[in-house]
Amino acid sequence: MAYQNELNTSNRILMGPGPSDAHPRVLRAMSTPLIGHLDPEFVAVMDDIKEMVQKTLQTQNNLTFVVSAPGSAGMETCLVNLLEPGDEALICIHGVFGGRMVDIAERCGAKVTKVEAPWGKPIDPQDVKEALKSCRPKILAIVHAETSTGVLQPLEEISKMAKDAGALLVVDAVTSYCGADLKVDEWGIDAIYSGSQKCLSAPPGLSPVSFSDRAVAALDARQTKVQSWFLDLSLVKNYWAGQKRAYHHTAPVSAMFAMREALRLVLEEGLEARFARHQRNHALLRDGLEALGFEFLVDKQYRLPMLNAVKIPEGVNDATTRSRLLNEYNIEIGGGLGKFAGKLWRIGLMGESSTPNHVNMLLSALKELM
Amino acid sequence: MAYQNELNTSNRILMGPGPSDAHPRVLRAMSTPLIGHLDPEFVAVMDDIKEMVQKTLQTQNNLTFVVSAPGSAGMETCLVNLLEPGDEALICIHGVFGGRMVDIAERCGAKVTKVEAPWGKPIDPQDVKEALKSCRPKILAIVHAETSTGVLQPLEEISKMAKDAGALLVVDAVTSYCGADLKVDEWGIDAIYSGSQKCLSAPPGLSPVSFSDRAVAALDARQTKVQSWFLDLSLVKNYWAGQKRAYHHTAPVSAMFAMREALRLVLEEGLEARFARHQRNHALLRDGLEALGFEFLVDKQYRLPMLNAVKIPEGVNDATTRSRLLNEYNIEIGGGLGKFAGKLWRIGLMGESSTPNHVNMLLSALKELM
């Protein structure tokens, strides 16, 4: 029977919107021989991960764990558990991922009110305030780091408005987690999800999530079953946090080994030092790109350090240039998403990919190609 | 900041209901440095995987791919895509996983008719025939290899009944895939899901699935959106099979590398040889266990070769013995699930864990412990 050749991939430099490069220690931990998903040693790994996710999210939330699927399943976990048919949701849209939240919330049967900002700008808290005059949302959902536009959304003012309106604050931190400050408890975030493959620099496939006590109370008060069995927190939480660690699904053991090691690396570096490193390398890249004539999409004070959205210069072919970067230099950068397809590049400096060497390799290659 | 120690797990021998032991080539492929999920080289990996999943499922189905989440998400993928509120479903229950299908189908708003068999017995086709007299199901769902009881369910007669009734046949092949014959096209299966961590011996976390043209026609004829965004095939299929490979979610790149290598190993061995090996080692284990006084739950002709369900002998303590097997011999076997908790052991001989050495290690350890 015919079969495929040995895996033979190129040695890429990952500077797109994720995955980022993984540290060798993460790859090595992942290749540890398997143990069972109910083995007491694996339960200890889950406990370690939970504790380190709490630390990196700066939260004491007991319901903190990792969804066994990518970030978009983390998004769905938050929304399907907190929304029931007929519930109101206020969702902020300033890029692709806010739009995705609306799509999911509507599939939950929620009545969605949208607050929009032009792509490339943050949501204006005044618009949220205005919208809250005409709805009584159960949740207010917003993206902290819009991966499609490179905007860092300030959250504290909007969080206060959510509280005042009696709404739960749901935050997408897929791209900011472990790369920029994210104070879940201090900022009053009630439900948050992220991804493993951005500034945490673990392989893609897992989604750390956390729920406040207020969110847990809302889960407990549900009148209907969660529409997804796989993502139903009333079942999943018994596996992650129950006394008996009841079997729910078979956890991705190897991916959890990798995530554990990636979390150790984050805490060894320290959150403050890691955030400062992301800022430092962002500044290096910004100076270099501006010297080459690139313009950033986002105003300075709202730019993400780990995802640099720049306009493709006049006369530069998007597909050809990215493909030459990939084929001749092994460097991956990201194209535009949605309405920015063909107009933007998204350059990631995430986790292990946030180094001066990454910046220098890319700037040198771009100089040669342009 | 305090952080955890280096990962330090024991060198387990995995003989439970999955995960099974992974081949060193699989672990090595998984630890390959990452590439992007939209890299042309990754798209080629996805194509390789699709082709090998088709071969191992013995199907030509074009809509064959891998769900980026564990087998239970594969189950949910099949059901949420094929069922709409008000649809009728006939679901066979002869263990935990048939029951799980009912739970998910009900969350889809389907009207479920159940056909049950005592746990440890297969479903009697006559009972299906009888049930079909009083319902008009859109799908007929059944578990091929009931992981909770060790029963191998014959499918061909029931498949014919489903066809005659105009129903789509949905099959759970989580445990049988790559360990026992599974002829998707010849047997007329319309939707099937499996898991990566059983007889394929890849790490847990992925679910190969496949849909017949009849199933695809049913998807195309839906009146309502699929309730899960993450599992919505109308979106996912553009990533796996679309002309443009549109971004949907970030695929678990490393896990896909591992799966590709595990599939290569299966095809190198050959399906027939692999199935024969599973039978051979099952016979070895059966003889050894019977010599020790164990009784199988399931009648001989319906026994799964890769999952041996045996009654815990009188006077043997379940928890103590399994815990001594784990701590003193590093051998994991499974306990009973659901109504069989404390009454059964489930001994897996799956994929790389189906060897005479595994059988001998377990039998010798049991002799010493009992």
Q: Looking at chain A from residue 274 to 333, which residues have their Cβ under 8 Å from any Cβ of chain B? A: 326, 332
Please name every residue paired with B193 in a beta bridge, in sequence order, or none if there are none.
B172, B209
| pLDDT tens-digit series, residues A131-153 | 999 999 999 999 999 999 999 99
With pLDDT > 90 as the criterion, what percentage of chain A qualifies? Answer: 95
A230 in reach of chain B (CB within 8 A): yes
Distance CA A284, CA A90 (A): 37
Q: Residue B158: what pLDDT?
A: 98
Q: Scanning every residue of chain A, which has its alpha carbon at the shortest distance from the alpha carbon of B253?
A: A204
CA distance A212 to A58: 12
Cis preceding linkage at A356, omega within 30: no
Residue A107 pLDDT more than 90?
A: yes
Facing A225 at nearest CB: one of B107, B226, B257:
B107
> Please, what's the b/e burial string for A34-54 (b: 16 or more CB within 10 A of its CB; e: otherwise)?
bbbbbbeebeebbebbbbbbb
Q: Which of 121-180 (B) contact A at CB < 8 A?
A: none
pLDDT for B1 equals 46
Of A71, A205, A260, the CB nearest to B205: A205
Average pLDDT taken over every residue of chain A: 97
B43 interaction partners in chain A (CB closer than 8 Å): none
B39 touches chain A (CB under 8 A): yes
Give the closest of A10, A197, A228 to B250, CB-based.
A197
Task: Classify B92 as helix, strand or coil.
Answer: strand
Other Cβ atoms less than 10 A from the Cβ of A246: the count is 12
- The answer to whether residue B188 neighbours chain A at the CB level (below 8 Å) is no
Identify the structural domains of chain B with CATH numbers, from first to last: 13-18+271-369 (3.90.1150.10), 24-266 (3.40.640.10)
CA distances from B347 to A33, B153, B340 (A): 19, 18, 14
| pLDDT tens digits for range A19-78 | 999 999 999 999 999 999 999 999 999 999 999 999 999 999 999 999 999 999 999 999
* pLDDT per position as a tens digit, B158-183: 999 999 999 999 999 999 999 999 99
- Tell me, what's the pLDDT at A1? 46
Question: In Å, how far is B127's CA from the nearest CA of chain A?
Answer: 28
Q: What distance in Å separates the CA atoms of residue A137 and residue A89, rounded to the nearest whole number?
A: 5
A257 touches chain B (CB under 8 A): yes
pLDDT at A3 over 80: no
Q: Which positions in chain A touch B10 (Cβ < 8 Å)?
A: 35, 41
Residue B332 has pLDDT above 70, yes or no: yes
What are the structure tokens assigned to A272, written together? Answer: 């403050």
10 Å CB burial of residue B293 (0-12, 13-18, 19+) is exposed
Residue-wise burial string across B308-317, b where 16 or more C-beta atoms lie within 10 A, e elsewhere: bbbbbeeebe
- Pick among A11, A30, A34, A340 to test the B interface (most B CBs inside 10 A): A34
The tokens describing B259, both together, are 């799966």
Alpha helices in chain B (DSSP H): 24-30, 40-57, 71-82, 96-107, 125-132, 156-164, 213-220, 233-240, 253-269, 271-291, 318-329, 356-369
The reply to whether A34 touches chain B by the CB within 8 Å rule is yes
A245-274 pLDDT per residue, tens: 888 999 999 999 999 999 999 999 999 999
With CB atoms and an 8 Å threshold, state whether A68 touches B260.
Answer: no
Q: Does A41 contact B9 at a Cβ distance shorter than 8 Å?
A: yes
Distance CA B85, CA A21 (A): 43
pTM of the model: 0.98
| DSSP state letters, A35-74 | --TTSHHHHHHHHHHHHHHHHHHT---SEEEEESS-HHHH
- Nearest residue on chain A to B107, alpha-carbon basis: A227
Contacts of B27 in chain A (CB under 8 A): 31-33, 254
The model's pLDDT over B231-284, given as tens digits with 9 standing for 90+, comes to 999 999 999 987 788 889 999 999 999 999 999 999 999 999 999 999 999 999
Asked if pLDDT for residue A242 goes beyond 90, the answer is no
Nearest CA in chain B to A104: B229
For B270, name the nearest residue in chain A, comparing CA atoms only. A1
Beta-carbon contacts of residue B136 (< 8 Å; ≥ 6 apart): B88, B165, B166
Residues B340-368 have pLDDT tens digits of 999 999 999 999 999 999 999 999 999 99
- Min Cα–Cα distance to chain A from B27, Å: 5
Nearest to B199 by CA among B279, B119, B141, B254: B279
Nearest CA in chain B to A272: B1
* ipTM above threshold 0.95: yes
Q: What is the crossing angle of helices A71-82 and A213-220, to 10°?
A: 60
Instruction: Give per-residue pLDDT as tens, A289-338.
Output: 999 999 999 999 999 999 999 999 999 999 999 999 999 999 999 999 98
- The per-residue b/e assignment along A294-309, b for 16 or more CB within 10 angstroms, e otherwise, is bebbbeeebbbbbbbb
Q: What pLDDT, on the 0 to 100 scale, is given for residue B246?
A: 85
CA angle in degrees (0–180, nearest 5) for A40-A45-A51: 125
pLDDT for the residue B179: 98
Q: Of B29, B228, B251, which has the smallest distance from its Cβ to A228's Cβ?
A: B228
Q: How far apart are CA A14 and CA A17, in angstroms?
A: 9
Q: What residues 233-252 of chain A have any CB closer than 8 A to a CB of chain B?
A: 247-252
For residue range B181-224, list pLDDT tens digits in order. Answer: 999 999 999 999 999 999 999 999 999 999 999 999 999 999 99
% of chain B surpassing 70 pLDDT: 99
pLDDT digits over B35-51, tens only? Answer: 999 999 999 999 999 99
- Contact (CB<8Å) B264/A35: no
**Percent of chain A scored above 70 by pLDDT?**
99
Kindly report the nearest CA distance between residue A85 and chain B, in angstroms.
Answer: 12
Residue B368 CA to residue A17 CA, distance in Å, equals 55
Mean pLDDT value of segment A157-179: 98
CA neighbor of B142 nearest in space, from B122, B163, B126: B122
